[in-house]
Homo-oligomer: A and B are copies of this chain.
């Protein structure tokens, strides 16, 4: 192990003891600080956001169940203070990085996190730790979805949960690349927010004529791909409204319900359903593509891919942060700030 400062034996961390979504199952407590082996880095965390995928993880509804007890948190930022004794890891020693949690061990809601060197993106000086902490999950996903739209030759797309942090990034990217989007929300103030950002096609799924309107605008714009984060009947309604041969790409399940689809859309209209998971998409890129992507996304963090921070909380107030976030996700991100 190489280190740039003394590493303590113990740290504070939010620790999950059961996948039941109960507040008492998540406790802030002392936990040993792990030591990096070959290919690994120890990140002294400075900030970590709460994302929808974290909420799903706490309830055991995320696609990955880690052995319990475990520290939640899929992404964050900090400084690499110790590394394994290999070339790639040592390159990161002392660097500020955005980092993703390992798939089977402790995550970012802690003072320190051990992860693979390959799961870190060195941060440019122009990117703050706060924005860097939110570099991976939303900006990279938004970038990937736009890439899928452009590679697939789709001239327009539909997105649900369009007022989310990710939805707003996708809106800005689509404006940048000149691709039309149809943005679906569930509340009028969300619709107004998106219209104030310049969105031209915003529909409220609670409106009585929603299905007819969505059908009309999907066919008018030839929107043949949908990015769907709600699941349940929302997926069915979106796919039903789209032209023949359309693709629905599911990347979330905010309704916590099984996806539904009308068999006739699949059989007679050649419509297809697939999923999107950022980790899989990244595996499909080469190391050089990933490095280039990291630079592109960091340059766009200031505008196209910026995240609004609604509030900051110390790690000890993780429950307040979770409660506030669930009460209004549209208001912006809640950040856990470590060592503050």
Contacts and interface: CB of A to CB of B under 8 A. Distances in A.
Nearest to A262: B258
A153 interface: no
Contacts of A251: 267
A339 interface: no
A311 interface: no
A6 interface: no
Q: How many copies does the complex hold?
A: 2
B258 A261 contact: yes
A275 interface: yes
A236 B261 CA distance: 11
B275 A271 contact: yes
Given A260-B258, A260-B259, A275 B280 contact: no
A112 to B, nearest CB: 27
A276 interface: yes
Nearest to A268: B63
Given A258-B236, A258-B260, A261-B259, A276 B272 contact: no
Nearest to A253: B263
A176 interface: no
A277 B268 contact: yes
A269 interface: yes
A231 B263 contact: yes
A250 interface: yes
Interface in A52-75: 61-64
Interface residues of A, number: 31
A76 to B, nearest CB: 21
Contacts of A299: none
A262 B63 CA distance: 10
Contact of A266 (B266, B269, B273): B273
Contacts of A209: none
A105 to B, nearest CB: 17
Chain B CB count within 10 A is highest, among A231, A250, A263, A272, for A263
Contacts of A63: 264, 267-269
Contacts of A231: 263
Given A259-B260, A259-B262, A259-B263, 9 more contacts: A63-B267, A64-B268, A252-B263, A259-B266, A260-B260, A261-B273, A265-B275, A267-B275, A269-B275
